[in-house]
Amino acid sequence: MSGLKARINAGETVIGTFVKTPASHVIEILGLAGLDFAVPDQEHAPLDLGAMDQLALASRAAGLPLVARCWGQSPARISPLLDLGCAGVMVPHVADRDTAEAVVAAVKFGRGSRGLSPSPRAGNYGTLAAPAYTAKSDAETVVMVQIEDRAALDRLDDIASVPDVDVLFVGPADLSQSLGCGFPSAELDAAIIRVIAAARRADVAAGLFVGDESQIAPWRERGVSVFVCGSDQGLLMKGARRIIEAGRA
Protein backbone atom coordinates (compact mmCIF):
# COMPACT_ATOMS: atom_id res chain seq x y z
CA MET A 1 0.00 0.00 0.00
CA SER A 2 2.99 2.28 0.35
CA GLY A 3 3.06 3.22 -3.31
CA LEU A 4 0.01 5.49 -3.43
CA LYS A 5 1.85 8.71 -2.55
CA ALA A 6 4.62 7.92 -5.04
CA ARG A 7 2.08 7.25 -7.78
CA ILE A 8 0.21 10.47 -7.04
CA ASN A 9 3.40 12.53 -6.97
CA ALA A 10 4.51 10.94 -10.25
CA GLY A 11 1.32 12.21 -11.91
CA GLU A 12 -0.30 8.82 -12.42
CA THR A 13 -4.07 8.66 -12.69
CA VAL A 14 -5.44 7.00 -9.57
CA ILE A 15 -9.08 6.18 -9.01
CA GLY A 16 -10.93 5.48 -5.80
CA THR A 17 -14.40 5.72 -4.32
CA PHE A 18 -15.99 6.91 -1.10
CA VAL A 19 -16.93 4.27 1.46
CA LYS A 20 -19.90 5.09 3.66
CA THR A 21 -20.72 1.63 5.03
CA PRO A 22 -19.03 0.43 8.25
CA ALA A 23 -18.30 -3.07 6.92
CA SER A 24 -14.86 -4.53 6.30
CA HIS A 25 -16.24 -6.68 3.48
CA VAL A 26 -16.75 -3.56 1.37
CA ILE A 27 -13.04 -2.78 1.54
CA GLU A 28 -12.12 -6.34 0.60
CA ILE A 29 -14.45 -6.26 -2.40
CA LEU A 30 -13.21 -2.89 -3.63
CA GLY A 31 -9.64 -4.11 -3.29
CA LEU A 32 -10.41 -7.23 -5.32
CA ALA A 33 -12.08 -5.01 -7.93
CA GLY A 34 -8.75 -3.27 -8.49
CA LEU A 35 -9.36 0.27 -7.26
CA ASP A 36 -6.26 2.29 -6.44
CA PHE A 37 -7.58 3.54 -3.09
CA ALA A 38 -10.76 4.13 -1.11
CA VAL A 39 -11.93 7.04 1.02
CA PRO A 40 -13.85 6.10 4.18
CA ASP A 41 -16.10 9.10 4.69
CA GLN A 42 -16.31 10.11 8.32
CA GLU A 43 -17.70 13.51 7.33
CA HIS A 44 -20.93 12.15 5.87
CA ALA A 45 -21.26 8.57 7.14
CA PRO A 46 -21.51 6.75 10.50
CA LEU A 47 -17.84 5.74 10.71
CA ASP A 48 -16.50 6.12 14.24
CA LEU A 49 -12.96 5.20 15.26
CA GLY A 50 -13.96 1.59 15.98
CA ALA A 51 -15.41 1.21 12.50
CA MET A 52 -12.34 2.84 11.00
CA ASP A 53 -10.15 0.35 12.85
CA GLN A 54 -11.92 -2.54 11.14
CA LEU A 55 -11.80 -0.88 7.72
CA ALA A 56 -8.07 -0.20 8.13
CA LEU A 57 -7.46 -3.83 9.07
CA ALA A 58 -9.38 -4.97 5.99
CA SER A 59 -7.40 -2.55 3.85
CA ARG A 60 -4.20 -4.33 4.79
CA ALA A 61 -5.71 -7.70 3.93
CA ALA A 62 -6.98 -6.39 0.59
CA GLY A 63 -3.94 -4.29 -0.28
CA LEU A 64 -6.20 -1.28 -0.78
CA PRO A 65 -4.87 2.04 0.61
CA LEU A 66 -7.35 4.09 2.61
CA VAL A 67 -7.31 7.88 2.53
CA ALA A 68 -9.72 8.78 5.31
CA ARG A 69 -11.95 11.83 4.99
CA CYS A 70 -11.91 12.95 8.60
CA TRP A 71 -14.46 14.77 10.70
CA GLY A 72 -12.40 17.93 10.96
CA GLN A 73 -9.01 19.55 10.73
CA SER A 74 -7.66 19.12 14.26
CA PRO A 75 -4.85 16.70 15.21
CA ALA A 76 -7.35 14.88 17.43
CA ARG A 77 -9.32 13.99 14.29
CA ILE A 78 -6.36 13.27 12.01
CA SER A 79 -3.62 11.46 13.93
CA PRO A 80 -5.70 8.51 15.22
CA LEU A 81 -6.65 7.59 11.66
CA LEU A 82 -3.00 7.40 10.67
CA ASP A 83 -2.18 5.35 13.78
CA LEU A 84 -4.76 2.81 12.58
CA GLY A 85 -2.79 2.37 9.36
CA CYS A 86 -4.61 4.64 6.91
CA ALA A 87 -2.42 5.68 3.99
CA GLY A 88 -3.44 9.30 4.30
CA VAL A 89 -6.18 11.80 5.01
CA MET A 90 -8.54 13.97 3.03
CA VAL A 91 -9.36 17.07 5.05
CA PRO A 92 -12.51 19.11 4.32
CA HIS A 93 -12.74 22.90 3.97
CA VAL A 94 -9.10 23.91 3.78
CA ALA A 95 -9.50 27.53 2.76
CA ASP A 96 -6.17 29.15 3.67
CA ARG A 97 -2.48 28.50 4.17
CA ASP A 98 -2.63 28.41 7.97
CA THR A 99 -5.17 25.59 7.87
CA ALA A 100 -3.11 23.67 5.33
CA GLU A 101 -0.02 24.09 7.52
CA ALA A 102 -1.94 22.81 10.55
CA VAL A 103 -3.12 19.76 8.60
CA VAL A 104 0.40 18.89 7.51
CA ALA A 105 1.65 19.35 11.09
CA ALA A 106 -0.97 16.87 12.28
CA VAL A 107 0.20 14.33 9.69
CA LYS A 108 3.99 14.64 9.52
CA PHE A 109 6.15 13.71 12.48
CA GLY A 110 8.92 15.85 11.05
CA ARG A 111 6.93 18.98 11.87
CA GLY A 112 7.51 18.17 15.54
CA SER A 113 3.97 18.23 16.95
CA ARG A 114 2.30 14.94 15.98
CA GLY A 115 2.05 12.58 18.94
CA LEU A 116 4.45 9.67 18.56
CA SER A 117 3.96 6.03 19.50
CA PRO A 118 5.08 3.11 17.32
CA SER A 119 2.70 0.80 19.21
CA PRO A 120 -0.39 1.09 16.92
CA ARG A 121 -0.94 -0.85 13.70
CA ALA A 122 0.88 1.80 11.66
CA GLY A 123 4.05 1.05 13.65
CA ASN A 124 3.54 -2.71 13.30
CA TYR A 125 2.60 -2.84 16.98
CA GLY A 126 5.94 -1.61 18.20
CA THR A 127 8.11 -3.80 16.00
CA LEU A 128 9.26 -0.74 14.04
CA ALA A 129 11.78 1.38 15.90
CA ALA A 130 10.63 4.97 16.32
CA PRO A 131 13.08 6.48 13.80
CA ALA A 132 12.13 3.94 11.13
CA TYR A 133 8.44 4.41 11.83
CA THR A 134 8.48 8.19 11.65
CA ALA A 135 10.60 8.18 8.50
CA LYS A 136 8.31 5.67 6.79
CA SER A 137 5.17 7.54 7.80
CA ASP A 138 6.45 10.92 6.68
CA ALA A 139 7.66 9.51 3.36
CA GLU A 140 4.49 7.61 2.50
CA THR A 141 1.47 9.34 4.03
CA VAL A 142 -0.79 11.18 1.58
CA VAL A 143 -2.17 14.64 2.37
CA MET A 144 -5.24 15.71 0.38
CA VAL A 145 -6.72 19.12 1.21
CA GLN A 146 -10.23 19.81 0.01
CA ILE A 147 -10.95 22.99 -1.89
CA GLU A 148 -14.65 23.60 -1.43
CA ASP A 149 -15.05 27.23 -0.37
CA ARG A 150 -15.20 30.46 -2.34
CA ALA A 151 -12.53 31.96 -0.08
CA ALA A 152 -10.08 29.18 -0.97
CA LEU A 153 -10.12 30.12 -4.66
CA ASP A 154 -8.29 33.39 -3.95
CA ARG A 155 -5.69 31.58 -1.83
CA LEU A 156 -4.94 28.59 -4.02
CA ASP A 157 -1.27 29.36 -4.57
CA ASP A 158 -0.72 29.83 -0.83
CA ILE A 159 -2.43 26.53 -0.03
CA ALA A 160 -0.74 24.58 -2.81
CA SER A 161 2.72 25.82 -1.86
CA VAL A 162 2.60 24.33 1.64
CA PRO A 163 5.27 21.60 1.73
CA ASP A 164 3.92 18.03 1.94
CA VAL A 165 0.49 18.85 0.49
CA ASP A 166 0.06 16.18 -2.19
CA VAL A 167 -3.38 16.92 -3.65
CA LEU A 168 -5.70 19.88 -4.03
CA PHE A 169 -8.97 17.96 -4.04
CA VAL A 170 -12.11 19.71 -5.23
CA GLY A 171 -15.35 18.99 -3.41
CA PRO A 172 -17.70 20.16 -6.16
CA ALA A 173 -20.95 19.96 -4.19
CA ASP A 174 -19.77 22.21 -1.36
CA LEU A 175 -17.85 24.47 -3.75
CA SER A 176 -20.95 25.02 -5.88
CA GLN A 177 -22.92 25.79 -2.73
CA SER A 178 -20.31 28.29 -1.60
CA LEU A 179 -20.25 29.92 -5.04
CA GLY A 180 -24.04 29.94 -5.30
CA CYS A 181 -23.94 28.20 -8.66
CA GLY A 182 -25.29 24.99 -10.14
CA PHE A 183 -23.74 21.56 -9.82
CA PRO A 184 -22.89 21.05 -12.62
CA SER A 185 -22.47 24.49 -14.17
CA ALA A 186 -20.03 26.48 -16.28
CA GLU A 187 -19.14 28.61 -13.23
CA LEU A 188 -18.25 25.51 -11.22
CA ASP A 189 -16.16 24.12 -14.09
CA ALA A 190 -14.26 27.40 -14.27
CA ALA A 191 -13.50 27.20 -10.55
CA ILE A 192 -12.26 23.63 -10.90
CA ILE A 193 -9.99 24.70 -13.74
CA ARG A 194 -8.54 27.40 -11.45
CA VAL A 195 -7.70 24.70 -8.91
CA ILE A 196 -6.08 22.54 -11.57
CA ALA A 197 -3.95 25.48 -12.72
CA ALA A 198 -2.81 26.23 -9.17
CA ALA A 199 -1.93 22.59 -8.60
CA ARG A 200 0.11 22.58 -11.79
CA ARG A 201 1.99 25.73 -10.74
CA ALA A 202 2.91 24.14 -7.41
CA ASP A 203 3.71 20.73 -8.94
CA VAL A 204 1.08 18.94 -6.87
CA ALA A 205 -1.80 16.79 -8.03
CA ALA A 206 -5.33 18.00 -8.71
CA GLY A 207 -8.14 15.77 -7.46
CA LEU A 208 -11.87 15.75 -8.09
CA PHE A 209 -15.01 13.93 -7.01
CA VAL A 210 -17.05 12.72 -9.97
CA GLY A 211 -20.42 11.07 -9.75
CA ASP A 212 -19.94 8.81 -12.75
CA GLU A 213 -17.03 7.13 -14.47
CA SER A 214 -17.90 8.86 -17.76
CA GLN A 215 -16.59 12.12 -16.22
CA ILE A 216 -13.09 10.77 -15.60
CA ALA A 217 -11.67 11.01 -19.13
CA PRO A 218 -12.77 14.62 -19.82
CA TRP A 219 -11.35 15.87 -16.53
CA ARG A 220 -8.19 13.84 -16.93
CA GLU A 221 -7.62 15.68 -20.21
CA ARG A 222 -7.95 18.95 -18.28
CA GLY A 223 -5.29 17.93 -15.78
CA VAL A 224 -6.99 16.04 -12.95
CA SER A 225 -5.12 12.88 -11.93
CA VAL A 226 -6.77 11.87 -8.64
CA PHE A 227 -10.40 10.80 -8.87
CA VAL A 228 -12.95 9.72 -6.30
CA CYS A 229 -15.84 8.28 -8.26
CA GLY A 230 -19.14 7.82 -6.46
CA SER A 231 -19.40 5.68 -3.36
CA ASP A 232 -20.03 2.13 -2.26
CA GLN A 233 -23.69 3.06 -1.72
CA GLY A 234 -23.91 4.54 -5.21
CA LEU A 235 -22.34 1.46 -6.78
CA LEU A 236 -24.86 -0.75 -4.99
CA MET A 237 -27.77 1.47 -6.01
CA LYS A 238 -26.70 1.57 -9.68
CA GLY A 239 -26.21 -2.17 -9.80
CA ALA A 240 -29.59 -2.89 -8.22
CA ARG A 241 -31.35 -0.47 -10.56
CA ARG A 242 -29.72 -2.05 -13.61
CA ILE A 243 -30.98 -5.45 -12.50
CA ILE A 244 -34.55 -4.29 -12.01
CA GLU A 245 -34.60 -2.23 -15.20
CA ALA A 246 -33.30 -5.17 -17.24
CA GLY A 247 -35.70 -7.56 -15.58
CA ARG A 248 -38.72 -5.37 -16.29
CA ALA A 249 -37.72 -4.39 -19.82
User: Can you give the pLDDT at residue 147?
Assistant: 98
Percent residues over pLDDT 90 in the chain: 98
Instruction: Please check the confidence at residue 64 and state whether its pLDDT lies above 60.
Output: yes
Specify the pTM. Answer: 0.97
Long-range contacts of 111-119 (CB under 8 A, 24+ apart): 113/75, 114/75, 114/79, 115/75, 115/79, 117/83
User: Can you give the pLDDT at residue 72?
Assistant: 87
pLDDT in tens, 149-163: 999 999 999 999 999
Read off the pLDDT of each residue in 114-132 and give the average, rounded to a whole number.
97
pLDDT in tens, 230-246: 999 999 999 999 999 99
Closest CA to 231 of 36, 40, 10, 25: 40
Cα separation, 120 vs 36, whole angstroms = 24
Among the listed residues 44, 150, 201, 241, the single catalytic one is: 44
User: Can you give the pLDDT at residue 2?
Assistant: 46
Pick the CATH number of 4-248 from 3.30.930.10, 2.60.120.890, 3.20.20.60, 1.10.490.10: 3.20.20.60
User: Can you give the pLDDT at residue 69?
Assistant: 98
Tell me whether residue 44 is one of the annotated catalytic residues.
Answer: yes
DSSP states of 55-74 as a string? HHHHHHHHT--BEEE-S-SS
Closest CA to 192 of 207, 205, 182, 204: 207
Instruction: Please check the confidence at residue 1 and state whether its pLDDT lies above 50.
Output: no
pLDDT in tens, 13-53: 999 999 999 999 999 999 999 999 999 999 999 999 999 99
User: Can you give the pLDDT at residue 59?
Assistant: 98
Domain-by-domain residue ranges, the chain? 4-248
> What average pLDDT is seen over the chain?
97
CB atoms within 10 A of CB 97: 16
